[in-house]
């Protein structure tokens, strides 16, 4: 998980009279003091507290996910715990605190499972306790995880293989409280007759709602159509647990495209990723929701309103960019290419291997204009260059576009691509606020300007 930087300037904290605990949950030092007061073991010293992710709904609530570093003074053991704080409206807090007190809890070493702070109208949940993700309760029961693996991994039948529950390790990969979490399960299987040992790696994705069932169906269709086709694959799904709203899938091998964007590896890696994307866009018969350009623009407008609330002086720039987006839709119909859209395609969703290229994460997939994936990739390349993470992001995007068009066998309208790149930049503009980077307001201003420049 990528840790955000601490908020450096208290003047940048949003004000919201409906949420009396907002400034507290956005303050790592305050959260550290609250937890230090309630910790279960006095020998545990908190050495650091940092924001990893936040989700803010003005006048409604704010969820802030934290990583908490600790040290045991007696044993010198160190570690990191995860928790999230949720600030409520006073009327909503009364109900939430009662629900938190009455709900099922998993015991957490060293810290309380759940804490209600009445003075702040805030509830704190220590991972894996979560008010919306019941699937996280699985990780407290290794025997239950072992049984699920026997049931869901067909190449390790229980009659032939013994899956170790004692060696079972669960690693938190990504966590958005009360929304979704991704964990990696690693253990070892031993053949009952030959004694052969085989590592086992499975990913578990748990959701607040039932979307995992639809993602399971999408992944089954994609894997059936793509696996082995010109070296393209997707993770094989291993079943959906409806009672836990949880999806299981195999791990796939490969180096993240993110790590291949410099040096001699860049050009061949971008070519492989582009070819894989053309295959994805060509799949047929996938039962995914349809999304229109108009509905996606409505989301962009909602994002623009939120950004303008956070940084009021970007309103004019964003309004002009959104106006240009709307004006451009009239010419989109003639060049739009309908197909299966990944929905969140960027460098982090691709694994490069010498035998195959794997595409990951289909939570946001839909049927619509496939050029949206290209524009989103270009938006990410632009921001990576601005952040100093790569050099010549525009050149990398040009290479990717050239490889995509060669593989697809047609040319794309540059204005069409810029439309979707602007849309992608607008959605990414919220990201620095999600982790409260020290310069998040300036980054939002710069990205808003980039949106207008790209579409103009």
Alpha helices in 253-342 (DSSP H): 266-281, 293-310, 315-328
This prediction has a pTM of: 0.92
Residues 6+ apart with CB under 8 A from 394: 381, 382, 385
pLDDT for the residue 227: 86
**Bridge partners, 338 (sequence order):** 369
pLDDT for the residue 323: 96
pLDDT for the residue 39: 80
pLDDT for the residue 4: 41
Whether the Cβ atoms of residue 226 and residue 198 lie closer than 8 Å to each other: no
Whether the Cβ atoms of residue 177 and residue 125 lie closer than 8 Å to each other: yes
Report d(CA 284, CA 43) in Å as an integer: 59
Q: Any idea which fold 255-455 has? A: Aminoglycoside 3'-phosphotransferase; Chain: A, domain 2 (3.90.1200)
In the numeric block, which tokens belong to residue 366?
A: 């839909």
> DSSP letters of 224-275?
HHHTTBTTEE-PPEEEEETTTTEEEEE----EEGGGGSSGGGHHHHHHHHHH
pLDDT for the residue 12: 67
- Token pair 């050495």 is found at 47
Which residue pairs, CB below 8 angstroms and at least 24 apart, start in 145-150? 145/170, 145/185, 146/187, 148/241, 148/248, 149/185, 149/187, 149/200, 149/202
pLDDT for the residue 104: 79
pLDDT tens for each residue of the chain, 456 residues long: 434 444 445 556 778 999 999 999 999 999 999 999 888 788 999 999 999 999 999 999 999 999 999 999 999 999 999 999 999 999 999 999 998 887 778 999 899 999 999 999 999 999 999 999 999 988 888 899 999 999 999 999 999 999 999 999 999 999 999 999 999 999 999 999 999 999 999 999 999 999 999 999 999 999 999 987 778 999 999 999 999 999 999 999 999 999 999 999 999 999 999 999 999 999 999 999 999 999 999 999 999 999 999 999 999 999 999 999 999 988 787 778 899 999 999 999 999 998 899 999 999 999 999 999 999 999 999 999 999 999 999 999 999 999 999 999 999 999 999 999 999 999 999 999 998 888 899 999 999 999 999 999
Specify the DSSP class assigned to residue 139.
G
For the chain, domain boundaries: 10-127, 136-250, 255-455
């Amino acid at each position: 998980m990528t840790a955000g930087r601490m908020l450096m300037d208290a003047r940048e904290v949003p004000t919201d009279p409906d949420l009396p605990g907002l400034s507290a949950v956005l303050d790592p030092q305050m959260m550290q003091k609250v937890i230090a007061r309630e910790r279960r073991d006095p020998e545990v010293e908190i050495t650091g507290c940092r924001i990893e992710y936040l989700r803010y709904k003005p006048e409604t609530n704010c969820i802030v996910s934290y990583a908490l570093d600790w040290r045991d003074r007696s044993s010198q053991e160190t570690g990191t715990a995860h928790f999230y704080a949720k600030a409520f409206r006073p009327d909503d807090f009364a109900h939430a605190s009662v629900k938190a007190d009455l709900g099922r809890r998993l015991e957490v070493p060293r810290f309380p499972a759940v804490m209600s702070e009445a003075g702040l109208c805030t509830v704190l949940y220590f991972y894996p306790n979560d008010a919306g993700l019941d699937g996280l309760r699985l990780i407290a029961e290794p025997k239950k995880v072992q049984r699920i693996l026997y049931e869901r991994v067909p190449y390790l039948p229980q009659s032939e293989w013994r899956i170790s529950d004692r060696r079972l390790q669960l690693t938190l990969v990504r966590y958005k409280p009360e929304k979704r979490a991704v964990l990696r399960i690693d253990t070892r299987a031993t053949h009952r007759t030959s004694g052969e040992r085989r590592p086992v790696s499975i990913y578990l994705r748990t959701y607040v709602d039932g979307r995992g069932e639809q993602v399971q169906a999408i992944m089954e269709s994609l894997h059936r159509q793509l696996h082995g086709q010109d070296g393209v694959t997707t993770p094989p799904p291993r079943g959906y647990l409806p009672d836990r709203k949880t999806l299981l899938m195999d791990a796939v091998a490969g180096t993240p495209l993110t790590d291949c964007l410099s040096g001699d590896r860049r050009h061949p890696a971008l070519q492989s990723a582009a070819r894989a994307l053309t295959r994805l866009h060509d799949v047929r018969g996938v039962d995914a929701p349809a999304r229109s350009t108009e509905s996606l623009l409505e989301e962009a407008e909602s994002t623009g309103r939120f950004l303008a609330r956070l940084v009021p002086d970007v309103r004019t720039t964003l309004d002009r960019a959104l106006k240009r987006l709307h004006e451009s839709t009239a010419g989109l119909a003639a060049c739009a290419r309908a197909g299966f859209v990944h929905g969140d395609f960027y460098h982090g969703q691709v694994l490069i291997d010498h035998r195959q290229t794997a595409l990951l994460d289909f939570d946001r997939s839909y049927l619509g204009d496939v050029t949206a994936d290209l524009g989103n990739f270009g938006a990410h390349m632009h921001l990576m260059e601005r952040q100093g993470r790569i050099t010549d992001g525009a050149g990398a995007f040009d290479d990717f576009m050239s490889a995509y068009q060669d593989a697809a066998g047609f040319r794309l309208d540059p204005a069409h691509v810029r439309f979707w790149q602007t849309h992608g930049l607008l959605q990414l503009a919220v990201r620095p606020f999600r982790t409260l980077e020290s310069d998040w307001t300036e980054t939002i201003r710069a990205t808003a300007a980039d949106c207008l420049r790209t579409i103009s």
